[in-house]
Amino acid sequence: MIAVVHARGKQVGSRVVTCASPKRDPRSVTCVSDGVLRGHYAYYGVPTNYYALDAFRSSVVRNWYRSLQRRSQRSGLDWNRMSRVVARWLPSANIVHPWPNDRFRVTTQGKSPVR
């Protein structure tokens, strides 16, 4: 897994985007995990798929926690601290796409529905 170290962040709209440089430090994979989760939500974020999206996020968090626990014999990371990091840096599961009836409602130039 490629990890990244956060460099300076810049504001894009209402969101702060952090620049990243490749490094082998799994404590700072938040930028990569954030992108993975956002891409997963963008592709699979259809109605009635919320529980699967949340399960995917939970597996990402669990694997990240395990990799951080393996780093040393005296890890100072517990689930309370991990949940604070996850709540701050990783997006929660959300539905991106509308229902098919709303998504495929198309009108022609004459404002009549396409048949």
Instruction: Please write the tens of the pLDDT for every residue from 25-45.
Output: 544 556 677 888 899 999 999
Report CA 71 to chain centroid distance, whole Å: 23
Instruction: Give the count of domains, the chain.
Output: 1
| Domain contains 95 | yes
Q: Is the residue at 4 inside a domain?
A: no
User: Is residue 90 included in any domain, yes or no?
Assistant: yes
pTM of the model: 0.64
Tokens of 40: 């997963």
**Contact between residue 94 and residue 53 where contact means Cβ atoms under 8 Å apart:** yes
Closest listed residue to residue 33, CA positions, set 93, 86, 90, 115: 90
**Structural domain contains residue 93:** yes
What percent of the chain is predicted at pLDDT more than 70? 64
Q: In the structure, how many helices (H) and strands (E) does the chain have?
A: 4, 2
Whether 69 is in a domain gets the answer yes
